[in-house]
């Protein structure tokens, strides 16, 4: 569930680790199956202990911890991962711990993951480029313009809602925000990309920035399962501002037609939209 706004919130929440030195890293003994951590923890430790954290960045839906060695630790939450500098929601799903020294009052960086679909990787600059470079990831969603959208998706025959989820085209948008963005833009989720006008791509570009920035301002969306938390293990608030996501059967808050929000399935995932004010 963590999409760009949630991952960006995690990133901002751990900025206090910049300047700290890594004292130890450990794979936390977990009663269930272990998440993927690479390379092997002994090699991971050898390449990170003693290093200083130079910066904390984000690439798409991943947190990037840059070290003074030019290696980077990549934390990829996928569905239920959390990046924390506070006590985790439960003890049993803690997966990875990085002990720190000199990072203000921050003593450790944690990776917690209930379902365990996420992963932690230590990568060289070459590996970073291969895995997260322009070949693999499109421009960041916060950097999108109408021209970039047209360049990346203008010739695709896919439905626009499905295409917005393609990380090679645009990095950072996930299922929840794709629905919210298209509602804000007034565009039907099933509209084929190659039939969307320049003017409508401009609406989509504007909506992308409006929605993602608002979601970041509210520290992301914590859905009913309560999984997503910020780096201090606090819930986000943007779920209170959703206009369509998980609101099937409710009145559209924008249009006056008295139409109800509906749920459809596209590419095996839920899409929510207003049939009255979202047009192809």
**Interface residue list for DNA (CB under 7 A):** 1-3, 32-33, 60-62, 76, 78-79, 92-93, 114-117, 131, 136, 156-158, 162, 165, 167, 174-176, 225, 246, 265, 267-270
Which residues, 6+ apart, have CB-to-CB distance to 240 below 8 Å?
218
- CA separation for the pair 48, 67 (Å, rounded): 8
177, 5 Cβ separation under 8 angstroms: yes
Annotation marks residue 61 as catalytic: yes
- CA separation for the pair 196, 194 (Å, rounded): 6
Annotation marks residue 3 as catalytic: yes
Which residues, 6+ apart, have CB-to-CB distance to 265 below 8 Å?
271
φ, ψ (nearest 5 deg) of residue 82: -130, 145
Nearer to DNA, 16 or 174 (CB): 174
Q: Which of 61, 97, 121, 243 is catalytic?
A: 61
- CA separation for the pair 162, 176 (Å, rounded): 12
Q: Which of 12, 54, 158, 269 is catalytic?
A: 269
Nearer to DNA, 59 or 185 (CB): 59
Which residues, 6+ apart, have CB-to-CB distance to 56 below 8 Å?
11, 14, 15, 17, 18, 63, 64, 65, 66
Q: Which of 3, 6, 76, 180 is catalytic?
A: 3
Q: How far is the CB of 229 from DNA (least distance, A)?
A: 15
Q: How far is the CB of 265 from DNA (least distance, A)?
A: 7
Nearer to DNA, 48 or 175 (CB): 175
Nearer to DNA, 170 or 187 (CB): 170
Helix (H/G/I), strand (E/B), else coil: 193 = helix
205, 145 Cβ separation under 8 angstroms: yes
Nearest to 142 by CA among 213, 235, 89, 58: 213
Q: How far is the CB of 251 from DNA (least distance, A)?
A: 20
188, 273 Cβ separation under 8 angstroms: yes
Nearer to DNA, 78 or 99 (CB): 78
Question: 146: which 2 tokens?
Answer: 């109408």
Q: How far is the CB of 21 from DNA (least distance, A)?
A: 30
Q: How far is the CB of 276 from DNA (least distance, A)?
A: 22
Cβ–Cβ contacts within 10 Å for residue 237, how many? 14
Nearer to DNA, 25 or 159 (CB): 159
- CA separation for the pair 216, 258 (Å, rounded): 30
Annotation marks residue 33 as catalytic: no
Annotation marks residue 2 as catalytic: yes
Q: How far is the CB of 52 from DNA (least distance, A)?
A: 28
Q: Which residues are marked as active site?
A: 2-3, 61, 269
């Amino acid at each position: 569930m963590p999409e760009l706004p949630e991952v960006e919130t995690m990133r901002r929440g751990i900025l206090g680790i910049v300047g700290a030195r890594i004292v130890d890293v450990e794979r936390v003994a977990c009663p269930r199956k272990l998440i993927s951590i690479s390379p092997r923890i002994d090699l991971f430790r050898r390449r990170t202990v003693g290093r200083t954290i130079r910066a904390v960045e984000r690439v798409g839906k991943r947190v990037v911890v840059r070290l003074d060695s030019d290696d980077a630790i990549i934390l990829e939450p996928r569905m239920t991962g959390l990046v924390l500098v506070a006590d985790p929601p439960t003890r049993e799903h803690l997966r990875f711990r990085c002990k720190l020294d000199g990072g203000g009052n921050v003593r450790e960086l944690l990776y917690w993951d209930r379902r365990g679909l996420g992963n932690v990787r230590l990568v060289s600059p070459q590996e970073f480029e291969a895995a997260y470079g322009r070949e693999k990831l499109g421009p960041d969603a916060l950097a999108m313009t109408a021209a970039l959208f047209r360049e990346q998706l203008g010739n695709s025959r896919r439905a626009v809602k499905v295409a917005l989820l393609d990380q090679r085209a645009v990095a950072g948008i996930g299922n929840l925000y794709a629905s919210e963005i298209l509602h804000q833009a007034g565009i039907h989720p099933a509209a084929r990309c190659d039939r969307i006008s320049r003017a409508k791509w401009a609406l989509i570009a504007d909506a992308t920035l409006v929605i993602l920035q608002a979601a970041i301002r509210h520290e992301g969306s914590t859905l009913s399962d309560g999984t997503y938390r910020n780096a201090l293990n606090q819930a986000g608030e943007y779920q209170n501002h959703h206009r369509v996501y998980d609101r099937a059967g409710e009145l559209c808050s924008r249009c006056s037609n008295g139409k109800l929000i509906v749920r459809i399935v596209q590419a095996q995932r839920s899409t929510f939209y207003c049939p009255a004010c979202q047009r192809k």
